[in-house]
Amino acid sequence: MSLPRDRGDEHNGARSRGPVMTVVSGGAGNGRAEHRRNAANGDGAAVNPTALAGTLKHHLNVQSNLCAALEQLADALPAEVRNDDCLALARSIYPIVHRSHTFEERELFPYLKAHCPADPELPDTLDRLHGEHWEDEAFAEEVQHELMAFAADRDAVDVEKLGYMLRGFFTGVRRHLAFEREYILPIIEGREKT
Ligand SMILES: [Fe+2]
């Protein structure tokens, strides 16, 4: 298995790599390191929008790669899934999702609230994204648990249900990511020019 190398490239998923599953990482990327150097003071006022945009793209790409790996696993169920691949991917799910949400909730959203008060739709949008974060984290834990159960004893797991669960999870996450890429990211990138 090819393990975590975060190149910030959403197209480095496992689909093009043949039968060996790729697991993605939410590891420390340059964007996050850079962002720490420009850390906010709690209300987003001191954050560099360029660093924020870079960190957001990093997290969007890592989560996109996670979705690609989960889709590949779902397509390979059950016979073509190796236990070690399954376990490694399972263990990566919650940390990747949680790290992304932590960044958005603690740094990105406060920045948007502080700098875009005139956007009438923003408060409701951020509330909705916040709710989706909670739902996705709960779902991530369920998916992680089921994949680990499958790796422990695949005969004890309903494979059809597992596949359905996986597709439900990555479909929802992809929808969330697409919205943030199309709506939130341009706002931040627009701030770079001001
Ligand atoms: Fe999000």
Question: Ligand 1 mean position to 99 CA, how many Å?
Answer: 10
- pLDDT at residue 46, rounded to an integer: 58
Question: Ligand 1 mean position to 136 CA, how many Å?
Answer: 9
- pLDDT at residue 181, rounded to an integer: 97
Question: Ligand 1 mean position to 178 CA, how many Å?
Answer: 10
Q: Residues 97, 137: contact at Cβ < 8 Å?
A: yes
Question: Ligand 1 mean position to 23 CA, how many Å?
Answer: 20
- pLDDT at residue 17, rounded to an integer: 34
Alpha helices in 77-121 (DSSP H): 83-103, 109-115
Alpha helices in the chain (DSSP H): 30-37, 49-76, 83-103, 109-115, 122-152, 159-179, 185-192
The structural domains of the chain, ordered by start, are 14-192 (1.20.120)
Could you tell me the pTM of the whole model?
A: 0.79
Task: Characterize 17-43 residue by residue with b for buried, 16 or more Cβ atoms within 10 angstroms of its Cβ, and e for exposed.
Answer: eeeebbbbbbeebebbebbeeeebeee
- pLDDT at residue 191, rounded to an integer: 82
Q: Rounded to an integer, what distance in angstroms lies between the CA atom of residue 32 and that of residue 54?
A: 8
Q: Rounded to an integer, what distance in angstroms lies between the CA atom of residue 14 and that of residue 69?
A: 6
- pLDDT at residue 194, rounded to an integer: 66
186 upstream amide cis, omega within 30 of 0: no
Tokens of 11: 């197209």
**One-letter amino acid of 180:** E
- pLDDT at residue 192, rounded to an integer: 75
**One-letter amino acid of 159:** V
Question: Ligand 1 mean position to 13 CA, how many Å?
Answer: 20
Task: pLDDT tens for the chain, 194 residues: list them.
Answer: 333 333 333 333 333 333 334 555 544 344 444 444 444 444 545 578 999 999 999 999 999 999 999 999 999 999 999 999 999 999 999 999 999 999 999 999 999 999 988 888 999 999 999 999 999 999 999 999 999 999 999 899 999 999 999 999 999 999 999 999 999 999 999 887 66
